Structure 1
């Protein structure tokens, strides 16, 4: 068979992921902090982009032809958005531009390098109105200070221990060894190191290391430098002078305590039931993670993206949170000034500015599209879960991404990106949007299905209300749920109970009966 070359004309369709489309998808999934970081980078590299201040006063006016991105509504932009960077026009490049720049920025360069020094901040802003001699008093109340200057700094566990080491250990070698041991502490305050390995690496005897460790275990917080949970509790009991022989035996048998095997504990500790309950109450006062009270990472507050309020007519009003959305402007005046300057010929500067204008317009449109998409998804979630907002978690309906996507004519992946790391402030609290999506559980009576989160809440409520004489087993919970219209298997009840860290019926019966006897006595 002879081979030959032929030309064919074929037409087909394909999805092309342009860089801008990929960035639009990433914008949709970004959290508030990630979005602000991304926009700040774009503002730095694009001279046409400006981010307005939240206080609405930067000393300039927004150009009439500037694109703006509103942050409170999906249908209209802010009419009161009067904050913008100073407009840039061709006058800036005329004679006396430096004077105009100085006037617009309200800056006096003649006194920029004087010996007067920087303005002093007030020592206590709440006393400005009473003490006129206080640094920072301007005669107009308590304006002009930054509350961040008065926020107490957070100390880490390592810094807290390093402050105590010089008072507990006097010799320099012991202090150096203490610094090594401090570096091996985890976030809970436990020592996660092999003393034998440290002894071989530093050339120090194991006896000396154990002696330093024993001294370090007397530092605050109590229980630090422990190598196990039992040792941590023992250290705290010793500092409270409560580590008697019976308590020591109890701490050595924490696995029996976890199983609520009070009969065996009474036998091996040699105490009666009342003494055992007192010992358990003492154990509950201890801190199993002494280092957890110190900051190990920067705490980040959650900013809700959606705010839900009653509309006064029996419904709910869904709004975007203005604090969670940036306000970005495109400075067309600056673009026009650059265009007039080189209008005679095409220059590299004009090509660069044209690209910046295209990117700036794309970013503002993407932010606006992101706001509309978030609002549309949140409004549909509120519509589906209005019973939850009215009556509580018992009325949370089963919901999945496909249901919301079909209702708002979007793809499931888009809904998934919108609901990732986005939060909604409701009259019942702050919830992640993913919270409203749960598995559907069939009804025992053939009615509407139930949400898995609502069923877990029912199980928790049933166990909380049980008495010591009538502790509910998993089978009993299944029967009560079925009588309430929820068809659930026993193994599913056990799985939900274990996920909520609720002990079994045998363990709960032992604990509640023991507590009831002590209360009756």
Structure 2
């Protein structure tokens, strides 16, 4: 059979993602901070876009009338003579000057106003912002640089010390290796080690340490309490981490009373000395959606309008400019700007409606959680929400990313409500994994020192109380995810607490 060329016609359907469609999909997963930054960039680039200020928006504000032109003589003499004094105007209204002109203070009351009178302050005005009078907190690096200038005289040593300061983390620990510092600066390793020993004496004590053992040792040396027994205790911190008090006492060679005193002294130290200083700005989480109880029952869902950007398309400006434009490139630019502006306004509206739609379905399915708490959190997946609102599962995933909802139970990320299901042994509804974690935490917090619950016991209790079919390894996974130690370590912790109390 020979190979010959031929023509074939086939008909098929495919979805083509245009750049604007891809951008609309990307807008769904942006947080409100990222979205506002994107809108600000579009406002700078597109002259047909403007922010909606929340007013009527229908009638454009009338431009102010230009002031009447005055001659030089009228401006300096006649106009000044026609202006009445504040006392004359106030006497015409039969009142005090400060009632008509709040910024004016009577001569007899100037001393009564206090220091705020010099700044134009008054009872009816806006109070000064107290943040303007609060000094900024110094950072750890700023605090250390001042000490390094007094501690080290050699410029080379100061350069090494500044490089070491740049290698500190927020806790005050040195995160760069001395070999790397010496190689990068071209300095002898002995010089870097010598400078490190010097700057380790800076305030706060424990800074420039390379691990927690060295951090505690520096603080104890500062207090002149680093004796041989304390040094042995620091050398066996791993036994203290697992609360093996018997093994720790044997390793240190101290009796029970001395060991209790040494541990009490360790608790007074700060393992993170750098956290007392200012770090990066902390941004509070702002909810995107509010969920409140409705008057007639149910829940009222409302978007947070303060973080939701709103834009308007200035079609009047487009018509004015387009009518005077003759250049083809300029017309193409205006057409592109108009299409982009229309797309952005439509995409923002669709994004808001999609967030409301997804949140409403989440609230409907998690009504028990909103009314009774985490123990009534239902297992829910992205597919369940997507099928209910007839959207794709990936769309729901993008909508719930980086979005927060304020509820009567607190502030939660929308992703929080999506949990896996654990089967029920009684044939009832499945249990949410988050509700199971919450119950495990409650059981562990309520356990007695002489009755520590193992993972097998926790699984048996969950099966007996709520009919939850959960394996021991699943309980261990949930426990480790909540940073709760094993039953052996918890038993040692309880005994150590009793020992310290006695």
TM-score by shorter chain over 0.5: yes
Q: Of 60, 63, 88, which aligns to 2:58?
A: 63
Q: Of 374, 398, 401, which aligns to 1:420?
A: 401
Q: Which residue of 2 aligns with 1:261?
A: 244
Moved more, 461-470 or 246-255: 246-255
Q: Of 447, 466, 469, which aligns to 1:487?
A: 469
Q: Separation in 1 of the partners of 2:224 and 2:351?
A: 61
Q: How does 1:292-303 map to 2 (within 5 A)?
A: 292-303=275-286
Shift of the alpha carbon at 1:140? 7.5
Shift of the alpha carbon at 1:332? 1.9
Q: How does 1:298-313 map to 2 (within 5 A)?
A: 298-313=281-296
* 2:495 paired with 1:500: no
Greater Rg over alpha carbons, structure:
2
Q: How does 1:236-251 map to 2 (within 5 A)?
A: 236-251=219-234
Q: How does 1:435-474 map to 2 (within 5 A)?
A: 435-474=416-455
Q: Which residue of 2 aligns with 1:91?
A: none
* 2:368 paired with 1:387: yes
Residue 430 of structure 1 aligns to a residue whose secondary structure is: strand
Q: How does 1:186-265 map to 2 (within 5 A)?
A: 186-196=169-179, 198-199=181-182, 206-265=189-248
Please say if residues 129 and 142 of structure 1, whose CA atoms lie closer than 8 Å, have aligned partners that are also in contact.
no
Q: Which residue of 2 aligns with 1:338?
A: 321
* 2:242 paired with 1:283: no
Please say if residues 377 and 408 of structure 1, whose CA atoms lie closer than 8 Å, have aligned partners that are also in contact.
yes
Q: Separation in 1 of the partners of 2:261 and 2:413?
A: 41
Cα pair distance change 1:194/1:2, threshold 3 Å: closer
Q: Which runs of 5+ in 2 are unaligned?
A: 70-111
Q: Which residue of 1 aligns with 2:80?
A: none
Q: Which residue of 2 aligns with 1:115?
A: none
TM-score normalised according to structure 2 size: 0.83
Residue 322 of structure 1 aligns to a residue whose secondary structure is: coil
Cα pair distance change 1:313/1:263, threshold 3 Å: farther
* 2:38 paired with 1:38: yes
CA RMSD across the alignment? 2.9
Shift of the alpha carbon at 1:273? 3.3
* 2:140 paired with 1:157: yes
Q: Separation in 1 of the partners of 2:446 and 2:172?
A: 37
Q: Of 300, 307, 316, which aligns to 1:317?
A: 300
Cα-to-partner distance string for 1:418-440 (whole Å, 9 max, x where unaligned) = 01111111122111111111111
Please say if residues 311 and 317 of structure 1, whose CA atoms lie closer than 8 Å, have aligned partners that are also in contact.
yes
TM-score normalised according to structure 1 size: 0.80
Moved more, 201-210 or 430-439: 201-210
Q: Which has the higher helix share?
A: 2
Q: How many residues align?
A: 458
Q: How does 1:72-111 map to 2 (within 5 A)?
A: 103=64
Residue 147 of structure 2 aligns to a residue whose secondary structure is: helix
Shift of the alpha carbon at 1:293? 4.2
Shift of the alpha carbon at 1:141? 4.5
Cα pair distance change 1:41/1:449, threshold 3 Å: same
Cα-to-partner distance string for 1:333-370 (whole Å, 9 max, x where unaligned) = 2123224445xx78544443233222211111111110
Please say if residues 398 and 438 of structure 1, whose CA atoms lie closer than 8 Å, have aligned partners that are also in contact.
yes
Shift of the alpha carbon at 1:250? 1.4
Cα pair distance change 1:86/1:333, threshold 3 Å: farther
Q: Which runs of 5+ in 1 are unaligned?
A: 65-84, 88-99, 109-127
Q: Which residue of 2 aligns with 1:131?
A: 115
Q: Which residue of 1 aligns with 2:74?
A: none
Please say if residues 86 and 104 of structure 1, whose CA atoms lie closer than 8 Å, have aligned partners that are also in contact.
no
Q: Which residue of 2 aligns with 1:356?
A: 337
